[in-house]
Structure 1
Amino acid sequence: MLDGRTKHFGRSGKMCGDTFQKEFLEWTYRRFEIDKLCGSNLLHCPACSQEMHAIGVDGNRKQYRFRKASGVEKGFYDGVFLAKDDDVSSFVKHVHTKTNHALNMYRGEIYAYAMYLQKELSSAGTVGFFCCDVACKYWLYLQKVVQACPELEELLKMHPLLSVMHAKVHEWSCELKWGGRNHPGAGNTTREEVEQVNSFISRAAVTTKYMSKTVWTDIITLLAMGWNERKFANMDHMLAKRYVKNVKRLKEETSLLEEKQAELDINDTVLQEWVAEVQQWHEGTVCNSHLAIKRAIFDRLMLVNRLQEEERILGQEMKRHWGSLQRAAGTLEALSQQLQDQSNAVELSEGGREEWLSLPPEEKIE
């Protein structure tokens, strides 16, 4: 493909793929450093980075082939998006040492990876909810680890949630306790956003599975930042669209709930009694009768409550996004003023500018 583009643009000679790849990664890393100097970070969401409503942890692929990789040099983006292997290994070793290996090592090691990500993500700002496909099992593990590692106690301040798709395949008692639809303040997010990113990154697996660990790390980081860049560029339209859809759906679901109440001939007081009965059933007290009907009305009421919360959450995210745009505009104005002041300080006369332009390139650099 590279040779074809060389001929298409009228150039001659053969282009080395390895050299081209290295130069491309160097160029992208320089752009990354320039963006950092300008106050731009594609790994921090402008709408929720400081006060994150929820974070999610999920796996994609197990890289068994990297176990045998020896003498691997560091990539340009080492530790930027993907965590450093040494940091993860030391954390897992620390947890296993503190717990005296009282846990199932196979299962415990996997949960320790999720706990490492939870710890790192929570350090960036306040987090309300923690989403995981097996939150019902992971949270019990975390509680045991915190008893041996009190420094991780802050992680328990989050509220654990099951992702929507996986909650449906758990027992209903488990879904009722851990499902996000039934937790006050959770909103109406799907909690499957990590799956969306993994699906996008996995498209490159046909190529990345042949790469070395160093290049693989850099390419995966570039793909993640590319995903975020497109998301940031469309953030205003996306938030506005989600808000409009949420308001429309809230009206529809509220109307359906009222119709269901009229059909069953129950008022708000009876409705709250049914909700309490369903919650007591989860705690061990079985409802007297009509459990299926009470569950249906319970689910519909929970959906209406979550949609009301989602409206408030979206309003906060739009406000934070607007604030990030104002800060970016202020940073851009300050940089422009700085460049203008520097250009005024070295401003040349007309004759001096013509003399400078007539110099050979090597003397200009000097």
Structure 2
Amino acid sequence: MIRHTFIAVAASTLLAGCASWFEGAGTYEPTPLGKIEQTVPLNMKWQAGVPDSGQGLFAPAYHQGVLAAAGNNGEIVLLDAITGKKNASFRLKGETLGAGVAAGDNAYFVGNDKGELIASDGQGKVLWRQKLTSVLSEPPLLAAGLVVAHTADGRLTAFDEKDGKSIWTQWQAPPSLMVRATTPVMLAVGKEVLVTGVAGGKLAVYNLQSGVPLWEATVASPRGGSELERVTDVVSQPKFDGRRVCAVAYQGRVACFDARGGNLLWAREVASSRGLAMDGRAAYVTAEDGALWAFDIETGRNLWKNDALRYRDVSGPVMLGKNILVLDGEGYAHLLASEDGRLVGRTRTGAEGTLSQPVLLGDAAYVQARNGRLVVLN
């Protein structure tokens, strides 16, 4: 069953920029899983219990061999990234978290339900906290000595990693209704560039150190007669391959742009809030209905489409070796062949619930599910 969560934004509110939350559910039954010829092994390397996500947006963060995972109860768990062994855990007392985590040198960064960005050490001692103009809409991004916060009112603010000093801020007035992200959206390219989706179907590129806009491009333009029909947000992470930046919009299209100047290279009609992956041949997109699409990376020509996972609450894709990995809401992981979209591998992980896009580290994919399970697949 497809679920969409929207944020109604009140421009005058200081706390979350959110006047109300509401959720609508589709009426489609999940497509039953058919038998497949399993030609590629898909293994669970390890699994571990982590804090439940609740209604927050959480994804694991890697730093120097350690994987950090946070939950809405204020707990942060530190795991050995190779073995899954629990190294430590600590709790931010009295905090209900809504997004996290980013991990640095003995410092962990999360957002709470009061619209604050919190930096903590590895024992739960608060190093600094900053009041934001709204609650975080995704986990903070740690890059080049900065912690970047993306809030629900459309503001980007960069803080010094060490002391929390505000370095720069950018703001674009959001529409009155936006899609809530289900996966991290910001992408740091090296130490100099920040790429992110923004409301209104746009892709924005900033100088990471100064916040100066480098270019902005439209992935999809709002259309339709009602306010709901005109919601066209980029709420999944754009991808960069050295030459081009590609992104996909909810109720919109997938588009690729020249990375230097933002000129449109190609665009195709497909809607997604789940995300995309890229390799040297194609861009792969999980559509809003769970179908998987592949588009030629040079021309945008449709290469294939797989409908076998429709309405199964499918995550955004990642490249696992030469194949494409997605997970569904019932906790099944699926491998698709990149050349033709055939299902070539499957395993049940127990990671159930609406899933953020897996985090790819080397030859393994890390998945944090809402039910408090973290699994590693390879």
TM-score by length of 1: 0.23
More helix by share: 1
More strand by share: 2
The higher relative CO (CA closer than 8 Å, separation ≥ 6) is in 1
Which of the pair has more CA radius of gyration? 1
